[in-house]
Chains A and B, each alone.
Chain A
Amino acid sequence: MAAGGGHGRGSWGSHGETAAYGAEGRGLEAPLANGRARLNNSRRGAVTAEGTVCGIECCPRRGGPQRAMLRRALRLGLGRGLLGRGLGTWRGDSTLDWDGKVSDIKKKIQSVLPGGAWNPLYDTSHLPPEHSDVVIVGGGVLGLSVAYWLKRLEKRRGAIQVLVVERDYTYSQASTGLSVGGIRQQFSLPENIQLSLFSVDFLRNINEYLAVVDDPPLDLQFNPSGYLLLASEKGAAIMENNVKVQRQEGAKVCLMSPEQLRNKFPWINTEGVALASYGLEDEGWFDPWCLLQGLRRKVQSMGVLFCHGEVTRFISSSNRMETASGEEVTLKRIHEVHVKMDRSLEYQPVECAIVINAAGAWSGQIAELAGIGKGPPGTLQGTKLPVEPRKRYVYLWHCPQGPGLETPFVIDSSGAYFRREGLGNNYLGSCSPTEEEEPDPGNLEVDHGFFQDKVWPHLAQRVPAFETLKVRSAWAGYYDYNTFDQNGVVGPHPLVVNMYFATGFSGHGLQQAPAVGRAVAEMVLEGSFQTIDLNPFLFSRFYLGEKVQEHNII
């Protein structure tokens, strides 16, 4: 009954009573001594008369004094129940291990509540988890691509816990959303061509790679119009060489003479053009925001955790070791990543095994936090990650008499480029500034004078119809510019052994993201590149001074 709480039902036999009285070890003994004796009698009486449990209301035969005793028993019993003498005591334990019992109960409650880490003082659901196998710094297309491939290539479902830390959920300054969105295979390095070829294959089959049950398929809005690169006399030999390499790797590119160019695209002024290379297939432009959202929803469905925060610190440990040749080297290992919450001083130390630096234009800062580059210049410790943000402008203009629907992505020999946008004779384009004219990357303000002075003359010279155009809008975005050789950095750092890079692509990050993500995931899971060999893109080339340079970059 009441003294037994809800548990007394079956245990109203003798052992239940002794249990109840046994649990009363401390506390209320002395005052209750007489009462207990009385209760004993009254309860026994109740049992023998009634058998099993019955409510007090069902014992009308009880006389006055016995009823009073029952009421007292009720009060005491309720009191006992409220004290929470809990689960273990009702099972007939006669040992009085009170402290042990309390901690047992607490552990049981902890295991029942979701989330594991039970903190009764404040809510921690907005913080990232305390442990994560892989922490990816940066939630742009490269970071999400690495997350996707890590989850896809893991050996067992749920084997790897991945956390993506992204500072700005609106992606207002991220290079992915501000990108012009082109993809081409017309590079001079075979690695770049292979990366691009796989990425195009990924984009073509994106609804098989990124399919989420019950969600609508992705529409990338891919324009397969190809790229047209124009070369002057000086660059013609390099272009021919490049096209040879591209065709060897499997890209479908053809060379065109100025005559053929005039026939095919009558709106081009071929003065000064000696040779042109035209991509026939697998080249064009698409919507990068759609790719980003598709990746985000797919990786969420695969179980990757997201955190809206900023990485402020790495806690690492160092080991002095000797190489085979007897030199001393200090190897560092990152143990914790401190993730600071947005607009607050609160931070969460996330214990991790691997950190992936996919922070785009800010990768250099993240590398500095990890201590890369802190050492005497000229040594491996003193080699910084040479990735810095560089501002690039993009202008959108309208030209009613401009080139038609078949216009490819045209890159002039002067560096100016443009492409069509939509059906309404709108065009997007710009030009890369030279080293001396580099704008200040502190903000994303657009310099309209740059279009007037540097871009328009080249465009008007190449396409006479562009002499009358009207700029509709413009924006600026960052390149994660690799000042060393303008190609990506992929793979682990030789000294900070668990930091992997996937950054520094200087304007090609979007078009190579799916393939680079797979390469980094292979490096993390297998220890070496399996499908595309990106060993020339490792960090060590900065120390060894081996530049892998691309010819003709935008």
Chain B
Amino acid sequence: MAAPKASLHLVAPIWKGGPRGIRGLSRTVAPEGNQRKGRTVLQFLADRFYDVQALREYLLRKQVSKVHQKNRSFTYVKEQYGPYIAAAYFVLKQGGAVKFQGQEWMRPNGRGRFSLEFFKFQAVPVEAVDASGCAINYQGLDNLLALKELQSLSLQRCPHVDDWCLSRLYQLAGSLQELSLAGCPQVSERGLACLHHLQNLRRLDISDLPAVSNPGLTQILVEEMLPNCNVLGADWAQGLKLGPEEQSQDTARSIPA
């Protein structure tokens, strides 16, 4: 690698690099076991050969472009059939489920195939979208934001939904009543702060958000922010430490969660 000889003395201690430089940090975050061993060999090669490094960068870019491809906007479908059909097609293609007003839930089968019968519901608004586990990201959300009568949106466990995506949800403020963000690894309390636009929200699920630094306190602040909403999530007492007098009392008993 073209690491400079005049190395940055400030960088070295932070990155724990030494002669390895900035690559050393990944060792501390690498998972254990076989995967770690494999990573070290590849990393070893990538440090020494430009070709291996270029190959790895190419593979990384391909991974990213796969997500982009999944989130492309279906402009043709939108022009021909309207925003509801385009959104439904997008969600079904990603593997989620969609519910038109007055209809049942439509979801793809085990193989990812779904029938195109919903193409006749051009004027029927979409009422609920369940995009749990889908690879939906900031660009893909474009398709959903045109649904002005959407009442329920579930983005549980979506790996690419982050704070930036949440900042776009204000466009659904007129109708959205139920929102679920449980298990999204990239959502933090900073994104939750943008939800104050959703004044019609009645149910909000913010449980199990690993990126939120203080779930109990965040729960309280979100409840204050959205007074009409029922916020499910962390218990406010979670993370609180017992005071000294309570601690001596509770040594024998188990602490209630």
Contacts and interface: CB of A to CB of B under 8 A. Distances in A.
Contact of B225 (A170, A204, A406, A424): A406
B222 interface: yes
B15 to A, nearest CB: 8
B2 interface: yes
B194 A225 contact: yes
Interface in B60-78: 60, 64
A233 interface: no
B124 interface: no
Given A300-B21, A405-B189, A213 B8 contact: no
A69 interface: no
A423 B194 contact: no
Interface in A296-336: 296-297, 300-303, 305-308
A127 interface: yes
Contacts of B196: 405-406
Given A225-B194, A423-B217, A216 B26 contact: yes
Given A216-B25, A281-B168, A300 B3 contact: yes
B64 A208 contact: yes
B194 to A, nearest CB: 5
Given A213-B46, A280-B170, A404-B225, A307 B6 contact: yes
Contacts of A216: 25-26, 29
A169 interface: yes
A423 B221 contact: yes
Interface string A141-152: 000000000000
Contacts of A225: 190, 193-194
Centre residue among A221, A223, A406 by max chain B CB count within 10 A? A406
Contacts of A306: 4, 6, 8
B214 A423 contact: yes
Contact of A405 (B4, B57, B221): B221
Contacts of B189: 405, 423
B167 interface: yes
Contacts of A436: none
Contacts of A208: 64
Contact of A211 (B1, B9, B22, B60): B60
A297 B221 contact: no
Interface string A113-129: 00100000000011110
Q: Size band of the B side of the interface?
A: 35 or more
Nearest to B50: A157
A222 B164 contact: yes
B138 A204 contact: yes
B48 interface: no
B200 to A, nearest CB: 14
Contacts of B43: 214
Given A208-B64, A224-B164, A169 B9 contact: yes
A195 B175 CA distance: 34
A221 B190 contact: yes
B10 interface: yes
Nearest to A298: B22
Nearest to B193: A405
A301 B1 contact: yes
Contacts of A213: 46, 53, 56-57, 60
A289 to B, nearest CB: 11
B192 interface: yes
A375 B217 CA distance: 62
Given A222-B164, A406-B196, A126 B6 contact: yes
A212 interface: yes
B8 A169 contact: yes
B167 A224 contact: yes
B193 A223 contact: yes
B168 to A, nearest CB: 6
Interface string A387-410: 000000000000000001110000
B191 interface: yes
Given A169-B9, A214-B46, A404 B221 contact: yes
B6 A224 contact: no
A224 B194 CA distance: 7
Nearest to B21: A300
A340 B23 CA distance: 30
A196 to B, nearest CB: 15
B92 interface: no
Nearest to A126: B6
A308 B190 CA distance: 36
B39 interface: yes
User: Max chain A CB contacts within 10 Å: which of B8, B46, B56?
Assistant: B8
Given A213-B56, A301-B1, A204 B8 contact: no
Interface in A158-181: 169-170
A218 to B, nearest CB: 12
Interface in A208-242: 208, 211-216, 221-225
Nearest to A281: B167
A176 to B, nearest CB: 14
Nearest to A170: B10
A224 B6 CA distance: 38
A281 B171 CA distance: 10
Interface string B12-38: 000100000111011001000000000
Interface string B212-226: 011001100110110
Q: Which of B53, B138, B221 has the most CB of A within 10 A?
A: B221
B123 interface: no
Nearest to B9: A169
B10 A169 contact: yes
Nearest to B197: A280
A280 B14 CA distance: 36
Contacts of B11: 296-297
Contacts of A115: 5
B193 A406 contact: yes
Contacts of A126: 5-6
B64 A215 contact: no
A250 B8 CA distance: 40
Interface in A57-88: none
A212 B11 CA distance: 16
Looking at A126, A224, A305, which has the most chain B CB atoms within 10 Å of its CB? A224
15 contacts: A126-B6, A128-B6, A169-B8, A204-B138, A214-B23, A223-B163, A223-B190, A224-B166, A296-B8, A301-B2, A305-B6, A306-B6, A404-B221, A404-B224, A405-B222
Interface of A: 115, 125-128, 169-170, 204, 208, 211-216, 221-225, 280-282, 284, 296-297, 300-303, 305-308, 404-406, 423-424
Given A213-B46, A224-B163, A406-B193, 12 more contacts: A126-B6, A169-B9, A211-B57, A211-B60, A213-B56, A214-B43, A215-B22, A216-B26, A300-B2, A301-B22, A307-B6, A405-B193
Closest 7 A-B residue pairs measured CB to CB? A224-B167, A406-B196, A303-B2, A214-B26, A223-B190, A405-B221, A213-B56
